[in-house]
C-alpha cells in the first residue's frame, strides 16, 4: 500500500515524495483509512513511527477538498500538544505537507509573543497547533473562535494528563463544533486516557501497532547499577567512547540539568541544556544547534521528551530515572527514529530501585545489566565516601556497555 492507494490527491502525494516520504508506516496504514472515512480514531504506537502524518494527512485532505476558507478568527482544525517543542515539530511537519496549497497553518504556544499570534489568527487559520495554556489565553482575549472547528487532535494525550491539562481540555472541548471528528494519539495507554477517550471520542476505532508502553525493537537497552556520586564520571566515560555522535541525556530537575550540562562542558563536550527555566529562544536555539551537530550532547528534562524528532540521535542516557514509568518509553523513543537503530542507557542508583522495577514491569521485560548489581550499588551507597573513591574503577570498566 502506498499513499496513492490511501486516497490522497496527486498533489499531496507529490509533496510527500519531494520530502522522501513514499511508504506509509504501520500506524499510518491502519489509522488513515478510518480517519479519511470520518471516524474518530484512537491511535497507539511507539514514538517515532509517524503519528503526525497519520492524523495530519487526513486533516489536510479534508480541508483541501472542502474548498472553504476560514472567516476572521475561525479555526477549522485544532491539534493540541502538551509541550512547545512538540507543537513546533507538528507545525513544521504540517507546514511541509501543505506547502504550495491554500491552507494556512498557525502555531500558538507559550514563550512567544501573544500579540503576534493574535495578528496571525486575525484572518483565521485552517489548522492551528497549540499548547492548551496559550490557547486558553487567546480564547480569553477573544482572539480566536472554535465554533467552526470540525477536527480535533490530541497528540500525546497521556502526557497532557500527566501535566495537568485535563482542566484546560474540559474548557476547550465544549467550544468546538458538536459535529466534529476527534483523534487521539499516544505511545502509552494509562487508565485515565481510556477514560478521556470515552469522554471526548464517539465510537472510536482503536488502532494499535504495538503494545502500549513497549520500546521500539531497534533500541538496544542496558542499565548500569551505580551509586549517585559516580553517575557523572560514568556518563563522561561513556560519552567519550562515542565523542561527536549525538546523545540526549535526561535529568530529573531543571537545576540538575543545568549543573550536569556545565560539568560536561568542563569535561570538553559540546553540551547544552533544555528545560523549563530556559526561554523559548534559548530552547529553540539549543535544539537547532543539536540538529546541526554544533551541539552533540543535549541535557534535558521531560519537557523535551516528546518534542525532539532528530533521526540520528544514536544514544539516550537516563541519568536520572523518571518518576512515571511511561515516560521512560517516551524518553528512549528519541532514538531509533524513522527505522534507525539506537542505544538507551539507564543509570540506576539505590534510591531509584523502585522506579526501575516499575519501568521494567511496564516494559514487560528485563533490561540487560551493563555493570554492577542492585545490591552492589546499595552496598556501595552505605560505605563512606573515601572507600567508594578507593574502589572507583579505572577507565574502561563500563566501556563494553556503551
Q: What is the band of 215 on the pLDDT scale with cuts at 50, 70, 90?
A: low
Q: What is the pLDDT of residues 130-161, one digit of tens each?
A: 999 999 999 999 999 999 999 999 998 777 76
List, for residues 371-399, the tens digit of each pLDDT value.
988 755 545 544 554 444 444 443 444 44
Of the candidates 77, 70, 117, which has an alpha carbon nearest to the alpha carbon of residue 97?
Answer: 77
Q: 216: closest CA among 47, 391, 6, 19? A: 47
DSSP conformation letters of 206-265: EEESS-TTPPPTTEEEEEEE--GGGHHHHHHHHHHTTTTS-EEEE-SSHHHHHHHHHHHH
- What pLDDT is recorded for position 393? 41
> So what's the pLDDT on residue 357?
92
Q: pLDDT at residue 236 above 90?
A: yes
Residue 350 has pLDDT above 60, yes or no: yes
Q: What is the mean pLDDT of residues 231-250?
A: 95
Three cell numbers at 49?
A: 513511527
- pLDDT for the residue 162: 63
Q: Specify the DSSP element, H or E, that contains 381.
A: helix 374-382
Q: Does the pLDDT value for residue 213 go beyond 60?
A: no
**Rg from Cα positions in the chain:** 22
More confident site: 302 or 345: 345
Lowest mean pLDDT among 18-22, 77-81, 220-224: 18-22
Taking every pair of Cα atoms in the chain, the longest distance, rounded to a whole number of angstroms, is: 74
Stretch 271-281: mean pLDDT: 86
Whole-prediction pTM value?
0.70
| Cell numbers linked to 71 | 472567516
Which residues on neighbouring strands pair with residue 315, listed in sequence order? 247, 343
- Rounded average pLDDT over 97-121: 94
- As a whole number of Å, the end-to-end CA separation of the chain is 38
Q: How far is CA 399 from CA 182, 239, 291, 318, in A?
A: 48, 10, 26, 17
Determine the pLDDT at residue 400.
Answer: 38
Higher pLDDT, 276 or 352: 352
CA 151 to chain centre: 22
Name the H helices within 254-373: 254-266, 280-292, 325-332, 353-363
* 351-376 pLDDT tens trace: 999 999 999 998 888 999 999 887 55
Closest CA to 177 of 146, 154, 204: 146
What distance in Å separates the CA atoms of residue 278 and residue 284, rounded to the nearest whole number? 10
Return the number of other C-beta atoms located less than 10 Å from residue 399's C-beta.
13
> What gap in Å lies between CA 355 and CA 362, rounded to an integer?
11
Q: What mean pLDDT do residues 313-330 have?
A: 90
- Is the per-residue pLDDT at 305 higher than 80? no
Top-confidence range, 16-20, 76-80, 210-214: 76-80
Nearest Cα to Cα of residue 15 among 67, 66, 49, 56: 56
Backbone angles phi, psi at 19, to 5 degrees: -95, 5
Per DSSP, the three-state class of 141 is: coil
pLDDT digits (tens, 9 = 90+) for 155-209: 987 777 666 688 888 899 999 998 999 999 887 766 666 777 888 899 999 998 8
Amino acid at each position: 500500500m502506498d499513499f496513492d492507494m490511501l486516497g490522497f490527491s496527486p498533489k499531496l502525494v507529490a509533496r510527500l515524495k519531494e520530502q522522501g516520504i513514499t511508504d506509509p508506516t504501520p500506524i499510518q496504514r491502519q489509522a488513515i483509512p478510518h480517519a479519511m472515512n470520518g471516524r474518530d480514531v484512537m491511535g497507539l504506537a511507539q514514538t517515532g513511527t509517524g503519528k503526525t502524518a497519520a492524523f495530519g494527512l487526513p486533516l489536510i485532505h479534508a480541508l483541501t477538498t472542502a474548498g472553504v476558507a476560514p472567516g476572521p478568527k475561525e479555526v477549522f482544525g485544532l491539534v493540541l500538544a502538551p509541550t512547545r517543542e512538540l507543537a513546533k515539530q507538528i507545525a513544521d511537519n504540517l507546514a511541509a505537507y501543505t506547502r504550495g496549497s491554500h491552507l494556512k497553518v498557525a502555531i500558538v504556544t507559550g514563550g512567544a509573543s501573544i500579540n503576534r499570534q493574535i495578528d496571525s489568527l486575525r484572518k483565521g487559520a485552517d489548522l492551528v497547533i497549540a499548547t492548551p495554556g496559550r490557547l486558553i489565553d487567546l480564547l480569553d482575549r477573544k482572539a480566536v473562535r472554535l465554533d467552526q472547528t470540525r477536527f480535533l487532535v490530541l497528540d500525546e494525550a497521556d502526557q497532557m494528563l500527566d501535566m495537568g491539562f485535563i482542566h484546560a481540555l474540559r474548557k476547550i472541548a465544549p467550544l468546538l463544533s458538536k459535529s466534529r471528528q476527534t483523534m487521539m494519539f499516544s505511545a502509552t495507554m494509562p487508565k485515565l486516557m481510556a477514560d478521556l477517550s470515552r469522554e471526548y471520542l464517539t465510537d472510536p476505532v482503536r488502532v494499535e501497532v504495538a503494545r502500549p508502553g513497549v520500546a521500539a525493537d531497534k533500541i538496544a537497552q542496558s542499565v548500569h547499577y551505580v551509586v549517585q556520586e559516580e553517575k557523572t564520571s560514568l556518563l563522561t566515560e561513556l560519552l567519550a567512547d562515542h565523542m561527536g555522535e549525538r546523545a540526549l541525556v535526561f535529568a530529573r530537575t531543571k537545576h540538575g540539568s543545568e549543573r550536569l550540562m556545565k560539568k560536561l562542558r568542563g569535561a570538553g563536550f559540546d553540551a547544552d541544556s533544555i528545560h523549563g527555566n530556559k526561554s523559548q529562544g534559548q530552547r529553540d536555539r539549543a535544539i537547532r544547534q543539536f540538529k546541526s551537530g554544533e551541539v552533540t550532547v543535549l541535557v534535558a528534562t521531560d519537557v523535551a521528551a516528546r518534542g525532539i524528532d532528530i533521526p540520528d540521535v544514536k544514544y539516550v542516557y537516563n541519568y536520572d530515572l523518571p518518576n512515571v514509568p511511561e515516560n521512560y518509553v517516551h524518553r528512549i523513543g528519541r532514538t531509533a527514529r524513522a527505522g534507525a537503530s539506537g542505544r538507551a542507557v539507564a543509570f540506576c542508583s539505590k534510591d531509584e530501585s523502585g522506579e526501575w522495577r516499575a519501568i521494567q514491569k511496564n516494559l514487560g521485560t528485563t533490561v540487560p545489566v551493563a555493570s554492577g548489581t542492585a545490591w552492589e550499588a546499595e552496598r556501595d551507597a552505605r560505605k563512606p565516601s573515601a572507600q567508594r573513591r578507593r574502589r572507583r574503577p579505572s577507565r574502561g570498566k563500563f566501556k563494553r556497555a556503551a
